[in-house]
Structures are given as structure tokens and as C-alpha cells.
Amino acid sequence: MRTLLIPVWVLFIGIALITLYFSPIGKSFLASPCYSDGAATDEAIADCTLILGADNKSDSARAAALVRRAELYRAEGQIADAYDDLYYAARLTDERQVRLQMVDVAIEGQGYSRARNTLSDLIISDTNDLEARYKRALVHARFLDKLDEAKVDLDFVLKAEPENAEALALSGLVSERLMLDALALERYEAALAIAPNNELATERAVVLREELADSREKASVFAGVGGREIPSIRLGLARGLRFLSLGDTERALDDMNQIVAIEPYHFEALFTRIKIYDLMGEYDGVIAAAAPFFATVESRAERYIRYAREKPDDAKLVVSRAYLMLGNAYQQTGQAEQAERAWGQGIQHWGRDAVFFWQLRLQAAGLFEFEPSGNGTPLLWSGLGTCAQSPSC
């Protein structure tokens, strides 16, 4: 009869595994309803809560339990509770995926500013995070109606990935909503050339082709009024904007230049020149065109004063948009310090979301600190700041 000899170390491992299984830790991880797909939701949530209340859990274990409980809350439609759990999980771990889950949950709960601010923290941490930049552009364009802000991120993404079909289609939507139909159609068609089944590009391209054909036919007579010379400043401005909508940036720019030659401090024409160069992707032109525009604002020229008196909110909006485009131009040409300065000046006008300008400054300066203040106020470092990422922010 042969005797079966079991090594002592095997016995010790077996005893340890049995002990672990029946211990509180083992029940939490080896047989925990929190992590079991077959457990009832209420039971799973209660077990996750039990795990979080234990004293012997590491930060990573707590973060895992919080993320799991957030998934369970989300499945039950308890979006606010799910977001709070992910927020606290993000404080315990550096995992990027947790923050991306925060974004999805925030959007589901219509917390669009929360989503934008979380994405901004990711971008400040890694300015080349193209996924976060695209998602922030999506939030700005679809939910916050901040088209210029969306364009800043889309310009960055498309410079790095010119054949990103999703970014091209979203850029088309932004352009269309800015009433730049020809540019929008160009972006939609570029997206379809790469991804023929892109739903957004497919749907909008069909509509725009018809609308542009009709618009160009009607505009042919209007465009010929006065030949190349503008008939008057008022009609020249209207005609130039019409050219811009139809994609004729050369004629649009020519009309704006003619207006500025007649009236050097024409606020709207000076701004439109910046906008045209920005749309053309000629960032050196943006920088050059910005100088006389801001000189007009700083000197408080009569045209600007009248515009600001009649439309104070619009005036702030136009000036802050100009700073947004100027900062973007500096970013696109690798001049981070100047970009930070331009976006910093944009904060002073409060015509756009000041928090976003703070976030852009942090991106340009390369600063990042994920530390909520708890009261929703900006945190400041060396004169810079970002929206505090508290659950209520």
C-alpha cells in the first residue's frame, strides 16, 4: 500500500485559502454579492456598502467597490448616487477610466457642466488626450450650445488625426450651427469618405447639398451687386457674411477688408476677419487680424462704444470669442505661453463661461491638481484655476 505524501507548503496554502473563503475579506471578494452578476441588485448594493464600511480595505479595494456600486445605482436609475460614488472612487485611484465613467453618468443625468469639467481635468493632466478633447467638444456642441469652445478641441483633434470621422462629422455640425453651410458640407463629406455609415454626416449632407444649391442660385444676383467693390458699408457687411456662409472665404475677406479700409475701427468687420482666418485654419492670419480688433476695443473707439451700449451682452460675447480664437491660434502654432495669456484676458470679459477659460489656461500652462475644494469655487495656483470637482460642482 502506497502512502500519499502531500508537501507541507501545499497544506498551508490549502488551509489559507479555506480560511480566506470563510473570512470577511473572502466573503467580500470571493463570494461577494457586490461582484456577483447573479445577485439581486438590492443585495449587491448592500454588500458593496458593507465592504466600504470595513476597516481593513485598501484604497484600491474601496475604489473598486464604489465603481461597482455606481454601476448598480446606474442600472436602477439612481444617477446622482452613481455619480457621487464615481466621484469618491476617482479620489482613491488615478484610473482614467473612472473619470470617463463619471462623464457618461453626468451626461445621463444632464449634468453637462460636470461632464465638461471632468473632461477638462483629464485634458489638463494630458493635453494630448484626444478622446477627452473629442468628448468635451461633443458636450459643448450638443448640450451646452458653446460652438466656439467645441471648435477649439475639434481643431486640436483634427490636427492630430485628420481622418477622424467622428470628429469631422461633429465639426460639420458645429460649422452648420454657426451658419457656415459650405464648410459644414465639406466636413460631412470628408467624414463619409472615411466612414460611409456615419449617421450624422449621412443625414445632414443630404439636406445641405439641396440647401446650398438653392442658396447659391439665389445668391448669384446678390453677389454681383456692385461688382467686387462693396456698394456701402452696411451692404458690404451683409454681403461678406453671405459669402462666408456659402464658403467663399476669399470674397468674404475681401469685403471685410474693404470695410476696414473705409472705417478702420469697424468693430464687426474687424471681428469677422478674425473669424474668417480661424475658419480657414490660417492661424497666423488670426494673430495678425486680432491686433487691430483689440486695439479698437482698448481705445474704446466710437463704433465699439455704440455697439457695447446698444448690445452690452453681445459685445462681451464677441470680445471673449475673439480671445478664444486668438488663444486657439497660439495653441495651434505652438505658442503655449501666449495662448495662456490670451485665454487669461478672455476671463476678464465674462462673455463666455469663465470656468472654461480657466481650464484652457491650465492646459496651456501644463498645470493639474485634482483636489476638490468642496464648495464649487475655482482653485487657484499661480493665478490660474479650474472648477472644483466636488459632487455639487
pLDDT band of residue 1 (cuts 50, 70, 90) is very low
pLDDT, mean of residues 65-76: 92
pLDDT at 379 over 50: no
Note the pLDDT tens digit of each residue in 283-320: 999 999 999 999 988 888 777 788 778 887 788 888 88
Residue type, 156: F
Q: Return the pLDDT at 27.
A: 44
- Mind listing the pLDDT tens digit for each residue in 283-293? 999 999 999 99
Average pLDDT over residues 131-150: 93
Percent of all residues in the chain with a pLDDT value above 70, rounded to a whole number? 80
pLDDT value for 14: 57
Cα-to-chain-centroid distance, residue 82: 22
Return the pLDDT at 155: 92
- Please, which pLDDT band fits residue 222 given cuts at 50, 70 and 90? low
Of 39-43, 111-115, 224-228, 247-251, the poorest mean pLDDT is in: 224-228
Residue 371 has pLDDT above 50, yes or no: no
If DSSP codes are grouped into helix, strand and coil, which group holds residue 139?
helix
Q: Give me the pLDDT at residue 374, please.
A: 34
Higher-pLDDT residue of 335 and 221 is 335
> What is the residue-wise DSSP string for 263-306?
-TT-HHHHHHHHHHHHHHT-HHHHHHHHHHHHHHHHHT-HHHHH
CA pair distance 74, 44, nearest whole angstrom? 13
pLDDT score for 316: 81
Task: Kindly state the average pLDDT of the residues 145-173.
Answer: 94
- Of 127-141, 194-208, 276-290, 346-360, the range with the lowest mean pLDDT is 346-360
**What gap in Å lies between CA 53 and CA 67, rounded to an integer?**
15
Mean pLDDT across 21-38: 57
Q: How far apart are CA 67 and CA 45, in angstroms?
A: 11
Split at pLDDT 50, 70, 90, the class of 220 is: low
Whether residue 245 is predicted with pLDDT greater than 90 in this model: the reply is no
pLDDT of residue 279: 87
Residue 381 phi/psi, 5-degree rounding, is -135, 120
Is residue 389's pLDDT more than 90? no
Is the pLDDT at 368 greater than 60? The verdict is no
Q: Between these two residues, 138 and 371, which has the higher pLDDT value?
A: 138
Tens-place pLDDT, residues 182-206: 889 999 999 999 999 999 999 999 9
pLDDT of residue 381: 30
Domains, in order of start, for the chain: 9-110 (1.25.40)
Rounded distance between C-alpha atoms, residue 147 and residue 183, angstroms: 14
> What does pTM read for this prediction?
0.75
The lowest-confidence range among 85-94, 320-329, 377-386 is: 377-386
pLDDT value at 210 more than 90: no
Q: Quick check: 352 pLDDT over 90?
A: no
Answer with the residue of higher pLDDT: 391 or 148.
148
pLDDT of the residue at 148? 87
Strand partners, 385: 380
Distance CA 387, CA 114 (A): 9
Asked if residue 181 has pLDDT above 60, the reply is yes
Structure letter (DSSP) for residue 227: T
DSSP string, 88-132: HHHHH---HHHHHHHHHHHHHTT-HHHHHHHHHHHHHH-TT-HHH
pLDDT confidence of residue 182: 86
365 touches 343 (CB < 8 A)? no
Flag whether pLDDT at 390 surpasses 50.
no
